[in-house]
A and B are shown apart, each in its own frame.
Chain A
């Protein structure tokens, strides 16, 4: 009778494989925690009439009516920004929201270069409100024609939310290359809003 003496490595190899899998799963769970933390870094803002949350590290900018709130990722230049405007609804119009939308488009069309409305969706539900969602684009450029600058294509979106005789317009604008990443800011921004 012959008995083989061999190194018992296979059972240990299996253990090692399981330990590697456990390490991987733990890393994924921690990764999910990091993702959640990264996606929920906001600062609360309150001025007595409105409360809202905006991304941590952003700068609050001075505002003039009809803008009641504006925060941006940097103070000047091409920037990503969150804006709230409050405008009265035209009282005599049959479809006041459409009239306001046209006014907004005309204003932006004259102030923002190459402003174009890309899509309008009515009856969008967000944070318990029924809103009108508008997607748009325009071009940001330095007004000094002697400056050697490259125009930047900007993308943006609004939620227009009727509030009694007023309308609240929540807007995000961002360079086209960053737009997909910042869209969630707008939704979180609207959800955080309280009067």
Chain B
């Protein structure tokens, strides 16, 4: 009986010596793709975060200078939706401007973005706010319970839903053919999720009686940068899970890690941005939240860039047809 060795990605017979990552066998083309770094992603993330911070600072200063009366003009819903969408649009725009060599299909990236938004609206936000009722107990609990609650409830729910949206859709698609694609698709899904969170944040502010655009813009930017960053880490684990011979605990540990990071972020964000209410007025600490979000996002994408670059360097270089 003739024995053929088949590539684990394209499932075509491999001519010559197969290339390996762990026990997985690859043809030269797929091996080159899997181990490729995608510079466009890192540039998009770097520029996206930078431009978002500049946008937020400018928008906040302008709003604070002119105090627009949005309620009177009936512009609240339009301004709200624009503010909620801007961070995601900035990242997606930069990604597509940079992603010219071998672009990811727009339909897939857009599809997971919409799927992220749908799972947030249909499952994530109702589960966190209505089933677990976190607004009623999380921030008023003592430090230990606050931290545990932030990790176990919003931390795990948000990250699991982003994981599931990628794992059960695009993960199995043939376009998911590079290790770094995990980061691309999970970040896009996370941005969709964050956009719906932003819309809810704006809705809550409007329902509370006043649309003060400056703190809302800050809140939206904080949400987006952090969730996108943690989505990126989750994607790194997904990418390696698909293309490398990682042990069975790899993905559960990855999910646990991002849930812990997400929970820690939620905890510290609450801690630094909660206004101190007194008869002397309340202190507005929204800027600290923006700084925290930007630092988390820069650090996360920086570490991911380093890890993926290191993996690429460790892999033997091959010439592709």
Contacts and interface: CB of A to CB of B under 8 A. Distances in A.
B27 to A, nearest CB: 12
A175 B137 CA distance: 16
A28 B152 contact: yes
B255 to A, nearest CB: 6
Q: How large is the interface on B (under 10, 10 to 19, 20 to 34, 35 or more residues)?
A: 35 or more
Interface stretch (B37-45, B177-185, B243-251): B243-251
A34 B145 CA distance: 6
A141 B279 contact: yes
Contacts of B134: 35
A7 B25 contact: yes
Contacts of B255: 20, 23-24
A177 B204 CA distance: 11
B252 A1 contact: no
Say whether chain B's binding surface is mostly helix, strand, loop, or mixed. Answer: mixed
B151 to A, nearest CB: 8
Interface of B: 1-6, 8, 11, 13, 23-25, 132-142, 145, 148-149, 152-153, 156-157, 160, 163, 167, 208, 241-242, 245, 248-252, 255-256, 259, 277-282
Interface of A: 1-7, 9, 12-13, 15-17, 19-20, 23-24, 27-28, 30-32, 34-35, 37-39, 41, 56-57, 77-78, 140-142, 147-150, 152, 175, 177-178, 180-182, 184
19 contacts: A3-B4, A4-B4, A6-B6, A6-B8, A7-B8, A7-B245, A9-B8, A16-B241, A19-B252, A20-B255, A23-B252, A23-B255, A28-B156, A38-B145, A41-B141, A77-B278, A78-B278, A152-B277, A180-B135
